[in-house]
A and B are shown apart, each in its own frame.
Chain A
Amino acid sequence: MEILAPQDDLALAAITEAVGAEALITDAAERAYHSQDVFSTGPTVLAVFRPTDKDMLARGIAAATQAGWPSSRGVAA
């Protein structure tokens, strides 16, 4: 596990509360793996959200955006 910057902690805590810790991956290696596509590597993501159904997906996104996720960051599918 890795330490997250304080303002990120806030949003992550809100999402965790909404969807449960099991749906979130914050392990450094997994975050790095999920920050690349077949051609490029991008900036490392804060967490990987693995919803198991539509409602959890909606809950997680609502929590992330309502917690004032910094607008320069955002959500990538």
Chain B
Amino acid sequence: MSYTSGYLAPEAGALLIDTGSMNSILDINEEDMTVTVESGCTWDKLQRALKPRGLRALAWGTLSGINATVGGGMSQNGVFWGALGGTVVDAALSFEVVLADGTILSTGSNFFRPFGPDITGLFAADCGALGVKATITLKLVREGTAFSYGSFSFPDANAFFSAMSAIAREGLASESFGFDPYLQAQRMKRDSLTKDAKSLVNMMKAQGSVLKALKEGAKVVAAGRSFLDDVPFSLHLICEGRYQSAVDADMKAIEAIAVKHGGKPIENTIPKIMRANPFPPVNSMVGPEGERWVPVHGFLPHSRLVEAWDRIQALFEANKAEMEAQGVAAGAMLAAVNRSTCLIEPVFFWPDALEELHCRSLEPSHLAKLNRFPANATSRAVVDRLRKEIVRIFRDLGATHLQVARTYPLEEASDPRAWTLLRAIKQTVDPQGLMNPGSLGL
């Protein structure tokens, strides 16, 4: 489910390892609050096993989790569910990794990290350059039993970022994400409201509260989606905790911050529906009309968000004519990642042919409804160039990234001594350079 050439070999004739058949949950240890899975286990499968026990992983997956694996998450890192607990590798305790010579290395203790220098951390986010993860042990936490949801509209990027950062600094929300005006409009084209409400009702029914389910479902339908019609930027937040009074109080505190920064409360339909169905079909890997889709992202400290945003918008402005001529459009997903960091993720859409990977990943009923565009190398070249220019802007601002693979310049961003150390480690675990050559730039 990735898009940074992480498993695309530099030359024909490579052996591809598909971990999809190694998908067992090996051990749920409720006493020690750890879970061990095979690396091909999906986040969705893990969550379905843990939820009935009132448990979840500390960070519990990416939105692609219906297909995306725990091994993929540990290898290129990721962030979405449980973001208050960190990125997904922050949930890792230990791995068993198969090295290039076929030996199996255990990265350390399966209940505490780090015991000495952090070997688990070394293999985390390695984009497969150092070995193939076979098993993974993660930290468990109790899933919340009380939730509060909030959505806010902001007139412009400045107001949006200052509110998102202020809320993040307080550590109030378990998840905090937003959309720029373009992505907001795309989402509205995409989702069918009745389907959303149904999925919410089903989910709540499954949890045993039929009456509450019907009430919530009715509320979502009554709210409709017109509340989002004139929303420029939207911010969506979830508070997860033990007591309703506590999460409601946290949401009140969030609202006060949002309003102070120029935000306006709107219906909280989006976070409610997303939390009820955390790993939906990956239909959003193409645009609502069947266009191709690709994101590019950077993590930045709060202090550099507005500058990054303005520079990216200036880039789009300077390329407006060409983008319009080639049918290239861009929106952005924005999210708080922890108390000091937020994510800016521009997302491109352009008319181009779908590949086999898209056709197999989308729901067949959704695929059948889409336009099919002919292959379009010219538009794609524009996207490719703009994506690279955005990576440059992020580099200038000292951004960090998930999904480094063959797309983000890790060497250039590293202290030369740190890079030499990394090369030495690669040389030790893979002296012939056979393991995913070129990934991470190694």
Contacts and interface: CB of A to CB of B under 8 A. Distances in A.
Contact of A45 (B3, B16, B432): B16
A31 B357 CA distance: 12
Interface residues of A, number: 48
A76 B14 contact: yes
B9 A74 contact: yes
Contact of A69 (B15, B16, B21, B104): B15
Given A38-B1, A39-B3, A43-B11, A51 B437 contact: no
Given A34-B16, A45-B14, A45-B16, A50 B8 contact: no
B359 to A, nearest CB: 9
B291 interface: no
Given A57-B134, A58-B98, A77 B38 contact: no
Interface in B131-156: 132-135
A54 B134 contact: yes
A71 B4 CA distance: 22
Contacts of A59: 102
Contact of A38 (B38, B132, B133, B285): B285
B15 A46 contact: yes
A59 B363 CA distance: 35
Interface residues of B, number: 53
Best-surrounded residue of A31, A58, A62 (most CB of chain B within 10 A):
A58
Interface in A6-63: 8, 11, 15, 29, 31-54, 57-63
A69 B132 CA distance: 17
A47 B12 CA distance: 10
A75 B100 contact: yes
Counting chain B CB atoms within 10 Å of each CB, which of A51, A60, A62, A69 scores highest? A51
B11 A36 contact: no
Given A8-B13, A43-B11, A72-B437, A51 B357 contact: no
Contacts of A61: 17, 98-102, 132
A54 B101 contact: no
Given A33-B357, A69-B434, A76 B11 contact: no
A38 B437 contact: no
B234 interface: no
A2 to B, nearest CB: 12
A71 B435 contact: no
A76 B16 contact: yes
Residue from A45, A54, A57 having most chain B Cβ neighbours under 10 A: A57
Contact of B435 (A11, A38, A39, A75): A75
Contacts of B294: 38-39
A51 B21 contact: yes
Nearest to A59: B102
Interface in B1-55: 1-22, 38
A77 B357 contact: no
A40 B22 CA distance: 25
B339 to A, nearest CB: 31
Contacts of B432: 65, 71
Nearest to A49: B17
- Which residue, of B13, B434, B439, has the highest number of chain A Cβ atoms within 10 A? B13
B21 A15 contact: no
B385 interface: no
B65 interface: no
Contact of B7 (A33, A37, A70): A37
B369 interface: no
Ranked nearest first, the 7 interchain pairs of A and B with the lowest CB-CB distance are: A62-B102, A42-B8, A43-B12, A39-B3, A38-B3, A77-B128, A54-B134
30 contacts: A11-B15, A33-B356, A35-B9, A35-B16, A36-B357, A38-B2, A38-B294, A41-B8, A41-B355, A42-B5, A42-B10, A44-B12, A45-B13, A49-B17, A50-B21, A51-B22, A54-B96, A57-B17, A61-B98, A61-B100, A62-B103, A69-B15, A73-B9, A73-B13, A73-B14, A74-B14, A75-B15, A75-B17, A76-B17, A76-B436
